[in-house]
Structure 1
């Protein structure tokens, strides 16, 4: 099956400062890749090079085996960027129809507007839309050409909970049609729910690239919450507790590498626990640990 995209040793500098540093990245059909990293990590710059909006200072980018600026490559790519907007004087339907004409293959209008919940706004001018509605229109425009590579930058930021869930299901369906999807997001729970693979950037370098479940497993720590009369200093001294904070009154939140040992120590010391919850490591704790490890 044809490889969707490949970045090889991609570097980008701005006035001598390195924004992306020798990054390798491959995208295959049918996979969803979450691109994570703190502000300034190089995520947007990498996406811009993947889309042909910026040229790499060094290294190569290929999309469907071609430079990303090639007309045949662009015809197979859709992108939703945070700064995208439509002509304010056109209606929603006119804007979508105009975008569809730019591609040899189209996603049906009714399907697009239903997906982004703008069917009732089809005749509304773009300039009259709310900020959230404009965001959903940007997603419709990204999907207008039935892309095989879809680049999404914070796609659910303007959606409510129900709309977000519907969109995430739609993303999974699109990936099931052998499309490759790159999802840049700050919502780490969202990435964990939908992504097959996670790529983490830090200071322009790729510090992790693995299946989502493997990234989470790299952090051998659990989040423990309970209410107890024990002091915060005493809890912090228990072996295996790496971090402790007071939520309110006698309720605490801990990061612990040995939950069973922690509970055994508390019970042996005669401390009574209520409202106990234990959560395994999630993508957020993995991300924090990875960037902290890289900084060290």
Structure 2
């Protein structure tokens, strides 16, 4: 099981030799006096080349501020940020890191094709030659003549994605990248991201869609109140902090005694009974299943923990 101590130890260890992103003791606050808000509070984080990392946290956890410092859009009050050994702003100018952000507008009077060509032209002839490929990868080829102002929110997100790909960056930072996209567009987006990750591109993304983190991220970092409260492989985080759900139909005889025994079990939480069926959560699901079956319960179901369960456990006050 993942513990807070283990998480803190992992954060404070020396950065790996192949780290492409290094955040060391970064802090950032806004406002003064009674209005002061500590958005990020002493965060340490190293990310290796080729990793796919989900950054999760409730609203106000500090995710966007941390990403802004990573991209050089704001400076930390304390600590250091390095991207491939460079200062963030320099890394962004050189094209080794690019982003798809929630903020930032597009030129509404240009068409989709003109927008991508304009940004591609800043990177030279070779990038201009790649524009058709970029439009195809981001599912925009059929929208090249549509004005940006006529694009839906999800389509504009795809335009931003195309702009981020023009530099062919080593590191791609995504802040709520699929906001406004329909189910089909989201699926296609993550198919492209999987291919990029398999090719060695480092991807860091913040999202409110926990199923996206669960299905795509190989590592999950959870922030709460400006600090990292967990950092582990996604599967390990899910299994270590989320008790399994157990459900069964109660026996006709001895149901009260069975429920009393379950309530006294130290590993049982969230016990509920509805229409003769009991549901609960427990880290000792096998032992609880034995108690239920031994007492005559039937139609037993055991469900593996989800990332949502772990997320709730980590961020509840």
TM range (shorter): 0.7 to 0.9
- The equivalent residue for 2:288 is 262
Alignment of 1:1-296 (within 5 A): 3-15=19-31, 16-70=36-90, 73-104=93-124, 106=127, 108-219=130-241, 221-228=243-250, 237=263, 239=265, 240-245=267-272, 249-250=275-276, 253-271=279-297, 273-274=298-299, 276-292=300-316, 295=317
Q: State the distance in 1 between where 2:132 and 2:249 align.
A: 52
User: What SS does the corresponding residue of 2:114 show, helix, strand or coil?
Assistant: helix
- In the TM superposition, residue 20 of structure 1 has moved relative to its aligned partner by 0.3
- Structure that is richer in helix per residue: 2
Distance 1:162 1:210, change over 3 A: same
Distance 1:13 1:132, change over 3 A: same
Segments of 5+ residues of structure 2 without an aligned counterpart are 1-16
Segments of 5+ residues of structure 1 without an aligned counterpart are none
Distance 1:225 1:266, change over 3 A: closer
Q: State the distance in 2 between where 1:95 and 1:102 align.
A: 12
- In the TM superposition, residue 173 of structure 1 has moved relative to its aligned partner by 1.7
Q: State the distance in 2 between where 1:139 and 1:170 align.
A: 11
Q: State the distance in 1 between where 2:88 and 2:196 align.
A: 21
Q: State the distance in 1 between where 2:242 and 2:107 align.
A: 50
Q: Is the 8 A contact 1:85 1:138 kept in 2?
A: no
- TM-score where L is the length of structure 1: 0.87
User: What SS does the corresponding residue of 2:44 show, helix, strand or coil?
Assistant: strand
Q: Deviations over 1:68-113 (max 9, x none)?
A: 1126654222111112331110000001111112335638223322
